[in-house]
Structure formats: structure tokens, C-alpha cells
Structure 1
Amino acid sequence: MTMEKELFVSAPGKVILHGEHAVVHGKVALAVSLNLRTFLRIRPRNDNTVFINLPNIGTKLRWDISELQSLVPAFQDSGNEPMSPSPEHLDILKTFARFPDGSKDAESLAVLAFLYLYLCICGKDLPSMDITVWSQLPTGAGLGSSAAYSVCVASALLTFSGRVADPLKESAETLSWTRTDLDIINSWAFQGEKVIHGNPSGVDNAVGTWGGVLRYQAGKITPLVRLPKLHIVLTNTKVPRSTKVLVAGVKDKLVKFPRIMEPVLCSIDAISQECQQVLEHMATRLSMDHYSILEELIDINQHHLNVIGVGHPSLDRVCQVTASHGLHSKLTGSGGGGCAITLLRPDVDPAVVEAAKQELTACGFQCWETIIGAPGVSVHSPSSLTENILQAFLDE
């Protein structure tokens, strides 16, 4: 049974708090939700079509249900477990969508992930629907934008088709699903991530689903409970980088200088574990001393990341600018450019933060003041959404 009303959902992006690159070598990493979110509206149509609108990348596509119905037999999952996308599945979808073989642009990947999840989740009786997805997250910046998209699409389709319950009640504005339903959403979002990335770790979609802080080590993902929300400035240097090249560079150094590099990676691992303990203590008894420790850990880890070769002059500039205002920053993600996070203590003067943001913007960087440790995937009533978010969902 499909829903007869519109549904709004959102999912957060993510940053790595500590553990970049060390996690590739079996160490602990802490991934945390970022309250820059992707929003999705889904509503029924009565014209036997499916319409998808992705305004961030300028994509509007419409398909007849009769055309999509011919694809259904190849996309039926076995039992209750989500089915992983095969090369044959992707070839079928690329041919249907008329994407050239090897297309990896944002539009083709987003559309392929949607089509895959739509055909697998909705089953034999494909519903007519209208979907618009709008995001506060920049793409390609290592902030989990594709995972937030996959989580939104999976949660919306599962709820719309009745495979998970609609948690929104008349008396509430923002609610989430049961733990069992969240497990189902996360499993399907992971399949969407596979369409986009091929062999993802599963961390980004888990953060988008559960929110808060997740510990990741050797393929095991553990959500941490009762953790505080921390205010940060997120800075996008806009410097492009290749995660694959950076990971290979760290590996080369580890092979060449094992007695030097292994202790550095072990120290990064210890930083992650120390940070986890501090965050757990902050959840029960908050002290300004906790922020002092977090600041020291940020400074030490940033130096370590430079030592292993994933720094960049743009990231050094972020650290220099924020340090001149008494703030502490480190890169987040693969490094080599990309993004940095700056911790904000509760007692920091807003004028100091604004001055730092203005100076970073003058460097050509993009800044957001936001929080980490935000809620995971959520369903919203229209009245709970801000005007600028609702504006993004105006009719095409």
C-alpha cells in the first residue's frame, strides 16, 4: 500500500572527527553527523509517471510507469534482504536512461541510484510519484553528500511503499523510525551507495541513518550513544583532491619508513580513542576542561596528518587564520585540500567567530557555522521546515 500524502525527509552529511587515513590501516576512526542536510519531498501522482527533480545539479527527468515496468523482473530482491547492484543491473539502467557507458557525473550517478532503489523497493506494482531532492551539502567535498542522498531516497521509498512505517504523528514535527526500520533504511541506502561508489565502507550511509558519532574500525561500525552536539565552523577550501592518490601516498610512506610511520598511525589511533572517552564524559558531565582536551587533540592530529603527507597549503592557511583568533582546526576527510573543521567552545565570542569566517571567506574559502552530532534521517511536517528549505520544493 502506498501513501496518499506528501512526505518530507532529511539526512545529515558527515565529517571525520579523528582517524583519517589511519583507519585504512586498521586503526579507529570517529565519523560524526554534520547538520548540513539533504532534504527530499515525495508525493503521489495520478498520471502513471515518475518525476524526479534534482535542482542542485539542474536535473529534471520523467518516465512512464509502463516503460519502467519492463525493467522490474531484473530488479526483484530475494526475501527481505536488499539485493546488491550487479554490473548487469547498472548496464540495464544506463541503457534505459540513455547514459553513455562509463558515465560518472553527478547526474548519472544520482539517477542510477534512484532508479535502482525505486525498482528494487517498490516491486511489481510501481507507484506514480514526484520526488524532489535538495541539499545544503556541496558535492565532491568529502562530506557524505551521496550517502545523505541515498539515505533520503531509501527512507522515502520504503515509507511511501509501506515497507517501513510512517513515524510522523499529528502532534509532532520531526520524528524518526524504529531501530528495526532504521536498520532496513541503512541497508537499502548502502545499496544506493554501491551504485554511486562501487565499494563503499558503509560509514557514510550509517552516519546519515543514525546520526551522532560512529566508531569505525576494521569494517566494524559502532554507534556511540548519548554524545554531545558540538558547534563548529566547517571550511571548504574548494581545492580538488584524489582520495585514491592520497591513500596510496600514505601507504608508500608506511612501506618505505615503517618504524617512523607506524608510531604516527598508532598515535592517531590513540587520539581517536581519547576523543571518544572525552565525548562520553561530556555527555554526562560537561566541563570547559573537556573542550581544552578536544582542542589539544585537534592540534596534535593536524600535525600528524601533515607528517603522513596529506596536508595542503590551503589547509595550513585555515589553521593559521583560525589560530590567530584563538580557535583550533584540523582537516577532515582525505586531506590534500577539501575541508577543515574548527571547534567552537560554548563561551567563544560570536564576534571572534564572525571575524574568523570573514577572513577565511576572503581567502576564497566557503564557510558554514553548524553543529556535529546532529540527528540522523528524520521525517518532517511542512510546518517544521524553514522558508528557504520549502522554497527549494516549489513546483517545477
Structure 2
Amino acid sequence: MRGVASFKPGHRIEHLKNLPDLRVILVNSKVERNTARMVQTVKERLKKFPEVVDAMFGSIDAISLEAAKILHRPLLEENGGGDGVQENGLGPLGGEQDHHSLQPTRTASVRSSSLSSYVGGGKRNSSASVISATSEKGENVDTFSKLNDLCRINNQLLIALGVGHPKVDLICTTLARYGIHPKMTGAGGGGSVFAFLKPNTPQTLLDMIDGELRSHGFEVWQPPLGGPGVVEHQRRPELFQTPVSSTQCSTPASKHK
């Protein structure tokens, strides 16, 4: 299943809708982490500085909520009568309203195919369609900037909690030279980091970033935001194919997860 979900113990899982068109970079430090040791480190700091660490927990939670708000951009909801209600505050779209009421306000954005068709007058190459596409690109750049800052702040808080690692620091320093600020995943102490990539980054620059990270021995992927997670394959994917000698069985596994 594709998409992004927001979840918290004791709360209903929320699937974020209408995700921005962004890519992420995922880097495996190849450092095996010890989650139990990381948890113990944080517990010791919490015991030593309860008010300070508790405030840091609150900040990390606030960052997560803010990121979810940025990513979650509900589509225009339409019913049979055409009186759709915009969840981000644009109000109902009734037949009595003029076309100006269909334009997004500065405090809200709409990514709706029906709205784009209306604004563009049904003409794919109309100037209105070009303006809409340009506006969306600018919106994605702004979204990247906010998420990039949140990742940087979040990662610094995790380091302050004592769950960093020199290899992770090297990844962060390398990406920071390109204006990309990653954050640790999971319990920290190694493992992987991820970051958002700026829209329309030239492929030559992406290849340069990839090559520099791999030169340090890291594994690198650049998947789209909201891509599929764990996938069951009927045959072993080509990614996992390895050369075998003539004496070995080359028949792929019937199922691979």
C-alpha cells in the first residue's frame, strides 16, 4: 500500500492525503544499532535532567505534528450536487459563486484536477494551466524548505539526547554541504537516516551526492515520498539476483518478502 500514515500509541492511524510531489534520500550507515542501549541512555538523561529532557520530548512531538500538517493537504471534496466543501477553509463551491471564489487563498492550497480544469478553461496549454503548474512547483519548494528545517531541528534534538553516532554525523555533514538536512530513523545510534530532496534538483547533482555517500561505504536510495513499503513478490526481484555456479540451483524462490 502506498502513502504516508501518522500514528501515535492510543490514537487512530491517520492516512495523510494529497502528498506533495517530493522525493527523499535514504542512507544506510551500516552501523548496527542497539535499541536497548539507546533507550537506556535516554532514560539516564531523563532521570538526571527531567524537566530539560521532557521539554525535548515535547519539542520532538511538536515537530512530528507540524510535519504531518505540512504533508496532509486534503483534496477538494465534491458531492453529487457540486457543493463540495474544502477542508482547508476555502468554503463551499456553490453555483452562485463567481470564479474568483474558486481561487486558492494565501493561507490555503488546492490540488484538484477539477479545479485545474475549471481555471484552465479545459485547455491543457492555457496560460492559466501554466500558472497553476508554476504555483505548484513553488509550493513544493516551500514545503521542502519547511520539512528540511524540521528534520534538522529534530536530528539535533536526537543528538542532544545522546543517540547519535560518528557515522551518522558524517552522513549529515556530507548532505548539509548540499543544503540537505537529514534525521535519524528509529532509535538512532546508527541505522539509517532520511531527508527530503529539493524539487527539480538536477540529476547530475543527485548522482554527485549518491557517489560521495557511497564512497564512504554507505548504501543510498532515492525513493518517492509515499512509495510502497514491504512488498510480496511471486519471484525473486532482479535486485536480489546473484550469480550462481552451474552446480547450484538457479531457480528463483517462489515467494520472497
Deviations 1:311-366 (A, max 9, x none): 11111111110111222211111110110112112221222221111111111111
1:226 maps to what in 2? 17
Question: What are the residue-to-residue correspondences of 1:326-345 with 2, within 5 Å?
Answer: 326-345=179-198
Deviation at 1:223, TM superposition (A): 2.9
- Matched pairs, number: 184
Q: Secondary structure at the match of 1:342?
A: strand
> Which of 227, 233, 240 is the matching residue for 1:374?
227
* Structure 2: stretches of 5+ with no match in the other structure: 76-109, 112-135, 243-249
Deviation at 1:221, TM superposition (A): 4.4
Question: What are the residue-to-residue correspondences of 1:85-124 with 2, within 5 Å?
Answer: none
Q: Secondary structure at the match of 1:241?
A: coil
1:330 maps to a residue whose letter is K
2:3–2:228 contact (8 Å) kept in structure 1: yes
2:238 maps to what in 1? 388
Higher CA-based Rg: 2
C-alpha separation in 1, matches of 2:170 and 2:39: 22
1:215–1:222 contact (8 Å) kept in structure 2: yes
Deviations 1:97-124 (A, max 9, x none): xxxxxxxxxxxxxxxxxxxxxxxxxxxx
1:274 maps to a residue whose letter is E
Question: What are the residue-to-residue correspondences of 1:85-234 with 2, within 5 Å?
Answer: 210-228=1-19, 230-234=22-26
Question: Whose relative contact order is higher, 1 or 2, with alpha carbons under 8 Å and at least 6 apart?
Answer: 2
2:5–2:15 contact (8 Å) kept in structure 1: yes
> Which of 256, 275, 299 is the matching residue for 2:48?
256
1:327–1:342 contact (8 Å) kept in structure 2: yes
1:359 maps to what in 2? 212
Deviations 1:260-298 (A, max 9, x none): 111111011110010011001387444121111011101
Question: What are the residue-to-residue correspondences of 1:48-59 with 2, within 5 Å?
Answer: none
Go from structure 1 to structure 2 and tell me whether the alpha carbon gap of 1:395 and 1:268 turns closer, same or farther (over 3 Å shift).
Answer: closer
C-alpha separation in 1, matches of 2:240 and 2:219: 23
1:217 maps to a residue whose letter is K
1:267 maps to a residue whose letter is S
Go from structure 1 to structure 2 and tell me whether the alpha carbon gap of 1:327 and 1:259 turns closer, same or farther (over 3 Å shift).
Answer: same
Deviations 1:231-274 (A, max 9, x none): 11211111111111111211221121011111111011110010
> Which of 286, 292, 295 is the matching residue for 2:148?
295
Deviation at 1:225, TM superposition (A): 3.5
C-alpha separation in 1, matches of 2:240 and 2:175: 34
Question: What are the residue-to-residue correspondences of 1:268-283 with 2, within 5 Å?
Answer: 268-281=60-73
2:167 maps to a residue whose letter is S
C-alpha separation in 2, matches of 1:332 and 1:222: 19
2:148–2:196 contact (8 Å) kept in structure 1: yes
1:366 maps to a residue whose letter is E
Whose strand fraction is larger, Structure 1's or Structure 2's?
Answer: 1
C-alpha separation in 1, matches of 2:240 and 2:172: 36
Q: Secondary structure at the match of 1:328?
A: coil
Go from structure 1 to structure 2 and tell me whether the alpha carbon gap of 1:267 and 1:370 turns closer, same or farther (over 3 Å shift).
Answer: same
> Which of 161, 172, 177 is the matching residue for 1:324?
177
* Structure 1: stretches of 5+ with no match in the other structure: 1-209
2:53–2:161 contact (8 Å) kept in structure 1: yes
2:17–2:74 contact (8 Å) kept in structure 1: no
TM-score scaled by structure 1?
0.42
Aligned-CA RMSD value: 2.8
